[in-house]
Structure 1
Amino acid sequence: MTAPTPPTPTRLPDVEVSAGPAAAVPVVVLTRTSADGTAQIGPGGADLAPEWAAAVGLTGKAGETHRGPVGSTVRWALGVGAGEPGNWRGAGAALARAANSHLENDPAAGDALQVEVPADVDADALGWFATGLRLGGYRYTVTAAEQAPRLRSVRLVVSERDRRERTAGALRRAAVLSSATALTRDLANTPSNVKDPAWLARAATKAAARIKDLSAQVHDEKWLAAQGFGGIIAVGGGSSRPPRLVHLSYEPAAATGPHIGLVGKGITFDTGGISIKPADGMHLMRTDMAGGAAVIAAVVAIARLGLPVRVTGLVPCAENHVSGSSYRPGDVVRHYGGKTTEITNTDAEGRIVLADALTYAHQDLGVDVLVDTATLTGAMKIALGTRVGGLFSNDDALAIRLTAAGAQAGEPLWRMPLLAHSAAEVPSDIADVRQCPPGPGSITAALFLREFTGGLPWAHLDIAGPARADRVYDDVVPGATGFAARTLVEFVASYVS
């Protein structure tokens, strides 16, 4: 019986801009930190007396939330710190979480809020604020319990017309970007008894439906076998739920610049195969398709924004399972395009399916630039932790562009080396390449993937660390984080002059 999963996409709060306040809607007053350590209280805070501020220990630091005084029109005092972009995102997220917690205890409190914005706050800051508001209260639960009310809408009061128009544009863009993050989370959080390769392919097709210039194709296991996608077939061969290849095409009539290929790992569950994983932590492998989810969500967002850049998204989807038909250590797999790989560890399956898709992208689809995204190696998580993605590239300009996109998206990337002496270990004695060359695991995985890029400008994002979280920070909540979706959108947007 199929689990009753929440509807996808998750409903996020609406954030809108208005010229004036609304009657009877609870007020949020913004506070900041000052040079002397005291809190500066923003517009609408006349009811926040110094005695109250002292009693609650008001500092104005980013994310600080306090309930307003009893009998006041102020529902919340919200700290935005020094007003840096990360402060605004964190403040919005903290407000969303505080509001949702309050509604759980008092469902009649009302699910709308309004904020009078200080005159010196620009549209970009409010875009970040909206991102935090929309994502900070995100929740994915599979339950029969009745859901408590959630924050539904936030009104930003901006009196000046020009600033209001700029803010409206920033909020529209933030809505698309935050929706991409949320969709990535939805897809990655879906339990794998529901989410098999066919389900993920249907979800991608549904997300892409009725968006101008965007089309979706799904190739099944028969097509993959007939066309020679030996890597995807091998990895998916141990499961009763066969693989798929999702192909998203965004082709705007006014496209300029390069044809960009985005490729994402879509392993809907990873047991490790015959090289089986330890039981501890295996339940988290429902998110092993987070890179593929980021590609799906990013291409949809790119199309929704109408960016004049041609983009192809490929997501090889497979379940890496254990059975008599599983691929084995010692096998030689023939990939799409003919190159062969000696298999040494069936738990290094992500690079095997990506190799097929990367080859297809440059050999048949005519892309000019390749970027792949994957929860690829535990070694990357050890190297960079859980909040920074690893970036590998054969092209300095591409690496710089992606690093800037990650910074713009609030998703930091750190460039890692492609070591020449490790590259010498990639060839195999029995096949063209070996799956797991000796050496530092994340670097050798990237060097393996480079063999399938056809010499194009290419970058590999290893997001094994930041794709999942076990605690709250910024706009992130425990579970799938949606990392890389916004980065990929910002990367494509960087080609728009």
Structure 2
Amino acid sequence: MAAQDVPGSGIAPGTRENSSARSLGFSEEMAQAGVVVAVVSGTDLPTDLTLDSSARERVAKAVSDAKFEGKLGQSVNVYAVGDIEHLLIVGAARDEGQAPDWRSAAGSAIQALSSSKAAIALVGAPDVAAMADMAFGVTLGQYRFDRYKSDAKPTEAGPVTIVGGQAAAASALWQSRHQPLAEGVAFARDLVNEPANVVYPESFIARAREKLAGVDRISIEVLDQADMRRLGMGAIAGVGQGSPRGARLMMITYRGAGGPPLALAGKGITFDSGGISIKPNTNMWEMKGDMSGAAAVTGAMLSLAKSKAPVHVVAAVALAENMPGGNAQRPGDVVRTLSGKTIEIRSTDAEGRLVLSDAIEYAVQQKKPFALVDIATLTGSVGVALGPEFAGVFARKDEYANRAIAAGRATGEHLWALPLHPNYRDAVKSDIADVKNSDASPAPGASAGAHFIEYFVPEDLPWVHIDMASVDRAATNLPLVPAGSRGFGVMLLDELVRNWRPQ
């Protein structure tokens, strides 16, 4: 029997795109709509909603009966109210002292109406920014990934209109800032939701090239397995050597400003079987998403470039498929990195830190950044520590961690600082090489991973490490995230890059 001449089956599982979402627009006047969504932060109805006294009394009674207070997550349905066929009232109020969350309220509303075919009008936004936020929430809330469902059909649902004063200004803000960000998040979600027989190192790059084609001030450089061998990048090449789909390093540069860049680095393991240290079968399918860090930095680059952000930023996208095989690296192997430092492989399932070690060194050598942020689905232990609400953040100085935490707070992609410690740093040292990639007791797993990566970051370079392994997926629908990939990190990195400048 002849050997396979192509990786995989060579048969694409599908050829169509995801079904289309509702179209979106802005208006200063209430459009004819089958459903009107009133977004409120209290019990008063928006002034844009014109109802006679009898209709208002009926709505007020429904609100009172439901004990609705306008809080985020609350909603009331009222039918046949005056000329309105269906009125959905949703809350946007958060805790005292916090601004209303127009994004999540709109996202929840569009998900609640997912089975409706009627045109939808959203009212209640108090200003231009809130209108653009509602559009953002609608766009991400109605995200879908259904391209492999044989019965998926193009939507026949009516459009969504955001109603309020200064609609033209809100539309301009949406198009210039919010829409590129939503596009970046959706692109990251698409990459992560795709199966690993569709998105692998080479095809990941092809999709990124296609998405970024024609975007001003963007350039892309790619290293393949042969380039890595020539340069001595034994860590990333070693992870990829067990798969017929070789490793890649993609460098994306966006020059929206002068001066040195801020560097992003993303872990891109397009499938993680664990290699020879093979994982148990339970939920191994989720390992198609072990490239969520790479998706995040790529989506952030798309957002920054399309919104013409005044920043200089580079992204090192470290891509490999971690597979067992006759040529796979083994526990006990020693690999030499681009930096010349050596790594003892204790577990082939601790591979994300390996690909990042070479990617970071290459970015530092070639791009001379003023700061570095890496993001990765690095350790299961971060989820044990923080659960599904926070990603872990590590930095040598509190001021760097605090920058990232502030960006997370501003975007709703929350971070919690976890410790670096000299004892944990010593724990990653190897008896036969410079460092080892696993078995770093007594260091907690997330801290051991952070210290391993730190070993490859120059001591004088501001550095932030984000371990997002507990927040990359949503098991159930969230206001801005239908179940599946969150596209976590795109909003966070976009915000962080915009606000971090060279000293």
Query: For residues 160 and 245 of structure 2, what CA distance do their matches in structure 1 show?
Result: 43
Report the AA paired with residue 102 of structure 1: S
Distance 1:150 1:278, change over 3 A: farther
- Unpaired runs of 5+ residues, structure 1, are 104-108
The 3 A distance-change label for structure 1 pair 114 and 255 is farther
Which residue of 1 is the match for residue 4 of structure 2? none
- Does residue 158 in structure 1 map to residue 199 in structure 2? no
TM-score by length of 1: 0.90
* C-alpha displacement of 1:150: 6.4
Matches of residues 68-107 of structure 1 in structure 2 within 5 Å?
68-70=78-80, 72-82=83-93, 85=99, 87-103=101-117
Determine the C-alpha separation between the residues in 2 that align with 1:154 and 1:415.
39
Structure 2 partner of 1:465: 470
Structure 1 residue 233 displacement after superposition: 1.0
1:84-483 matches, within 5 Å, as: 85=99, 87-103=101-117, 109=118, 112-117=119-124, 121-141=126-146, 142-147=148-153, 149=155, 153-159=159-165, 161=166, 165=169, 168-170=172-174, 172-252=176-256, 254-256=257-259, 258-436=260-438, 437-438=440-441, 439-455=443-459, 456-483=461-488
CA distance in 2, matches of 1:30, 1:496: 40
**Inter-partner Cα distance in structure 1 for 2:285 and 2:373:** 28
The aligned amino acid for 2:40 is: R
Q: Secondary structure at the match of 2:427?
A: coil
**Cα distance in 2, alignment partners of residues 482 and 14 from structure 1:** 21
Q: Structure 2: how far apart are the matches of 1:496 and 1:18?
A: 37
In the other structure, the counterpart of 1:106 is none
Following the alignment from structure 2 to structure 1, what is the Cα–Cα distance between the partners of residues 501 and 100? 25
**Is the 8 Å Cα contact of residues 252 and 315 (structure 2) preserved in structure 1?**
yes
CA–CA separation in structure 2 for the residues paired with 1:399 and 1:172: 29
**One-letter code of the match for 2:198?**
V
- Where does residue 489 of structure 2 map in the other structure? 484
User: Is contact 2:73–2:105 with CA below 8 Å preserved after alignment?
Assistant: yes
Contact 1:262–1:311 (CA under 8 A) maintained in structure 2: yes
Distance, in Å, in 2 between the alignment partners of 1:354 and 1:6 is 33
The letter for the 2-side match of 1:51 is R
- Check 1:76–1:94 CA distance in 2 against 1; reply closer, same or farther (3 A cut): farther
Residue aligning to 2:6: none
- Alpha-carbon deviations, 1:115-164, whole Å to 9, x = none? 3335xx233333332222111121212211132626564222223x4x85
The one-letter code sitting in structure 2 at the alignment partner of 1:379 is: S
Q: CA RMSD in A?
A: 2.3
Q: TM-score, normalised by structure 2?
A: 0.89
CA distance in 2, matches of 1:348, 1:495: 31
Distance 1:273 1:402 in 2: 32
Inter-CA distance 221–391: structure 2 relative to 1 (3 Å threshold): same
Describe the SS at the equivalent of 2:500: coil
8 Å CA contact retained: 1:291, 1:375: yes
Cα distance in 2, alignment partners of residues 424 and 292 from structure 1: 28
Post-superposition offset of 1:424 = 1.4
SS of the residue 1:77 aligns to: strand
Worse-matched range after superposition: 487-496 or 13-22: 13-22
- After alignment, is 469-478 or 150-159 more displaced? 150-159
Shift of 1:215: 1.2
Distance in 2, Cα, partners of 1:77 & 1:427: 59
Q: Distance in 1 between matches of 2:479 and 2:100?
A: 8
Structure 1 pair 228/180, CA: closer, same or farther in 2 (3 Å)? Answer: same
Per the alignment, residue 21 of structure 1 pairs with 30
Displacement of 1:287 after TM fit? 0.6
Amino acid at match of 1:16: G
Instruction: Return the offset for 1:87.
Output: 3.2
For 1:341-370, what per-residue CA distance to the aligned partner results, in whole angstroms no more than 9, with x for missing partners? Answer: 001011100000000001111122211211
Question: Which amino acid letter does the alignment assign opposite residue 470 of structure 1?
Answer: A
Shift of residue 477, structure 1, vs aligned partner: 1.9
Residue type of the alignment partner of 2:14: P
Q: 1:150 to 1:458 in 2, by over 3 A?
A: farther
Deviates more, 1:198-207 or 1:215-224: 215-224
Q: Hey, what's the Cα distance between the residues in 2 that align with 1:419 and 1:151?
A: 55
- Assess if the C-alpha contact under 8 Å between 1:265 and 1:317 holds in 2: yes
Seen in structure 2, the aligned counterparts of structure 1 residues 40 and 496 have a Cα distance that, compared at 3 Å, is: farther
Paired residue type of 2:412: G
Q: Cα–Cα, structure 1 residues 415 and 86, in superposed 2: closer, same or farther, change >3 Å?
A: farther
Judge which range, 434-443 or 25-34, deviates more. Answer: 25-34
Contact 1:13–1:133 (CA<8 Å) still a contact in 2?
no
| Contact 1:249 1:311 (C-alpha < 8 Å) held by counterparts | yes
**Cα displacement string for residues 431-454 of structure 1 (whole angstroms, at most 9, x for unaligned residues):** 111112222000010000001112
The CA deviation string for residues 216-247 of structure 1, in whole angstroms up to 9 with x for no partner, is: 12222111221111111111111111111111
Q: Which amino acid aligns with 1:378?
A: G
**Aligned-pair identity (%):** 36
Q: What is the letter of the counterpart of residue 149 of structure 1?
A: T
Structure 2 residue ranges without an equivalent (≥5): 1-10
Correspondence 1:50 to 2:57: yes
Q: Is the 8 A contact 1:181 1:485 kept in 2?
A: yes
Aligned residues: 478
Q: What is the CA–CA distance in structure 2 between the aligned matches of 1:399 and 1:493, rounded to whole Å? A: 16
Report the Cα distance in structure 2 between the residues aligned to 1:213 and 1:152, rounded to whole angstroms.
Answer: 37
Contact 2:92/2:104 (8 A) holds in 1: no
Q: For the residues of structure 1 that align with 2:100 and 2:348, how far apart are their CA atoms?
A: 40
CA distance in 1, matches of 2:158, 2:469: 32
Please state how far the C-alpha of 1:172 moved relative to its aligned partner: 3.6
Distance 1:423 1:394, change over 3 A: same
Amino acid paired to 1:165:
A
Hey, what's the Cα distance between the residues in 2 that align with 1:70 and 1:496?
54
Task: Give the conservation status (yes or no) of the 8 Å contact 1:67–1:75.
Answer: yes
Shift, 1:493, TM fit: 1.0
> Displacement, 1:65?
4.3
